[in-house]
Chain A
Amino acid sequence: MSSAQRLLDIVKNKGLQGMAGARLDAEIPLSEALLNRLANEKARSMETLEHLQILLPGEDTLVVDAKARVSTKLFGIKVPVRRQVHFLINREVSLSPSPRMQLRIRDGLSGLEKKFIHWFENLISRTVPGDISLEQDILTIDLGPVLREQGLEMFAGQLEQVRVEGQAGRLLIKVRASA
C-alpha cells in the first residue's frame, strides 16, 4: 500500500475528529471533452446506442445528443431515432438530506414514444453517477450513493454550498465546506 493510500485510509478512519474549524473552497471545471469521454465509456455496453454527445453551449444549458435504434410498434422494426435533449441546469445543488443536482428538460422528449423515453432514462442512469429520477420535466441526480460508495458520506454534512454552472465548453462546480 502506498503512503498516500495509507494517509487516505487513516483520514477516512478518523473522520472529522480533530478537524473542527476546517474550511475549504473549491472550483472544479469539468470539460466537455472529459464529460463525453466518461459518458461514452459508461454507455459502451448499450447495444442500441449509435451516437452520444454532450454539448455545453453556455448559459447553464446542457444538451444530450443521442441516436438509438429503438423497436417501433409497427412489426417491431428497429428504426434509428435521434434526439437532442436540452436541459437547463439548476445552479444551486440542494444539500439536504444528500447533495442533489437538478436539471429541467427544456426540449427534446415531447412527442416521443414512451419506449424511447425509457431508453433515454436508462441511458442517463448508466452514464451519470448517483441515483437518477425523472419526474415531469425535472431530472434529479442524487449524489448521496456516490459519497457512500466512496466512504465519504461523513463529509456531506459539512457542505455549505455547492453550485454547478454551465459555461461554454465546461461545467464549473463550486464547493464551499467547513467542519
Chain B
Amino acid sequence: MEELIKHLLDNNLRDLKGMKVSGKIPVDPAFLNELIEEWLRAGSTPEPGASAPSSTAPASSGSGIPMDKFPNLIRRHVKKLELGVENGKMVLAFEFRVEE
C-alpha cells in the first residue's frame, strides 16, 4: 500500500486522472483547538539546553511516503475548501478532483 501511495505521489497523481472526492466534515471547535494544540506541541523546537517536549502523538510509521508532497498536491487539485456553519456547528466542505 505504501509503495502504491509513494508511486502516486511521485507522479503527481497522474495515474488517478478522473478521481473525485468530496464531502463535509463537521468540525467541533474543541476538537479543532485540541488539534491545533497537539500540532503546535508536536512541532515545537526545544530551546537550547532544554529537554525535548513530550508528545502524545504516536511515532510516525517511518514509511517512504513523501508526505511533504501533500500540500502542493492539495493546492493543485482542491476545487473547493469552505469553512461554514450548519446548525450551529462549524462544517468544512471540500472537493478534490484530478482532471482527466
Question: Which A residues lie at the B interface, using CB under 8 A?
Answer: 1-10, 12-14, 17-31, 33-34, 37-38, 41, 129, 146, 149-151, 170
**6 closest cross-chain pairs (CB), A and B:** A18-B31, A24-B23, A4-B70, A21-B26, A5-B67, A18-B28
Indicate which residue in A10, A23, A25 contacts B42 across the interface (CB closer than 8 Å): A10
Task: Please count the residue pairs between chain A and chain B whose beta carbons lie under 8 angstroms apart in the complex.
Answer: 98
B20, B31, B58: which contacts A17 (Cβ < 8 A)? B31
Q: Are B35 and A28 in contact (CB under 8 A)?
A: no
Whether B21 and A26, one on each chain, are in contact in the complex, defined by CB atoms closer than 8 angstroms, is yes
Please name all residues of chain B whose beta carbon is closer than 8 Å to the beta carbon of A41 when the two chains form the complex: 3
Q: Are A22 and B24 in contact (CB under 8 A)?
A: yes
Let me know if A4 and B68 touch, CB within 8 A.
yes
Residues of B with C-beta under 8 A to A37? 7
Q: Do B24 and A29 touch (CB < 8 A)?
A: no
Given contacts A10-B39, A34-B15, A38-B4, is CB(A25)–CB(B21) below 8 Å? yes
Looking at chain B, what size class is its interface with the partner chain?
35 or more
A28-B16 in contact (CB<8A): yes
Q: How far is the CA of A29 from the CA of B100 in the complex (A)?
A: 10
Q: Does B75 contact A (CB under 8 A)?
A: no
Contact check, A6 vs B43: say whether CB atoms are below 8 A apart: yes
A19-B26, A21-B89, A27-B19 as given contacts; A5 in contact with B60, CB under 8 Å:
yes
Q: Which residues of B contact A26 (CB under 8 A)?
A: 19-22
B71 CB–A CB distance under 8 Å: yes
CA distance A23 to B25 in the complex (A): 7
Contacts of A19 on B, CB cut-off 8 Å? 25-26, 31
> Which positions in B face A, CB cutoff 8 Å?
1, 3-4, 7, 15-28, 30-31, 34-35, 38-39, 42-43, 56-61, 65, 67-68, 70-71, 89, 91
Q: Are B31 and A129 in contact (CB under 8 A)?
A: no
CB closest residue in chain B, given A170? B18
Would you call B1 and A149 a contact (CB within 8 A)? yes
Q: Are A3 and B43 in contact (CB under 8 A)?
A: yes
A25 touches B15 (CB 8 A): no
A13 touches B71 (CB 8 A): no
Question: What are the residues of chain A within 8 A of B57 when measuring CB–CB?
Answer: 6, 9-10, 13
Are A24 and B21 in contact, with the CB atoms below 8 A? yes
Nearest Cβ distance between residue A153 and chain B, in whole angstroms?
13
Of chain A, the residue at the smallest CB distance from B89 is A21
